Amino acid sequence: MGITYDPVKNERNIRERGLSFERAADFDFETALFADSSRHGEMRRVAVGDLDKRFHLLCYIPKSDGIRVVSFRETNIREAKLYGKPQTID
């Protein structure tokens, strides 16, 4: 799966959240929960799933050759509860 993203937005994400969009390659898509969203005239998919024994929220645009990452971060407690998942995995 190919992963593309805006390099400037990725640098900001690394600075502010300590998380590179490249890590989306390690995201557990198999067990993630998904929701679709339409924003700015394009279909986006939001996934909540595991990365490094923590739950993360990944917003992306599906592409024929992979995904384009829009946003990627750890879930907060409220979001983890909303999606019915604990914030951390033991």
89: in domain: no
90: in domain: no
88: in domain: no
22: in domain: yes
Residue 57 burial (CB count, 10 A): 18
- pTM score: 0.86
Q: What's at 30, amino acid-wise?
A: E
Helix (H, G, I), strand (E, B) or coil at 58: strand
Question: What is the domain count for the chain?
Answer: 1
| Domain that residue 37 falls in | 2-82
Domain with residue 7: its CATH number is 3.10.450.530
d(CA 60, CA 70) in angstroms, rounded, equals: 5
Segment 11-18 mean pLDDT? 98
87: in domain: no
Residue-wise pLDDT for 64-86, tens only, equals 999 999 999 999 888 877 776 66
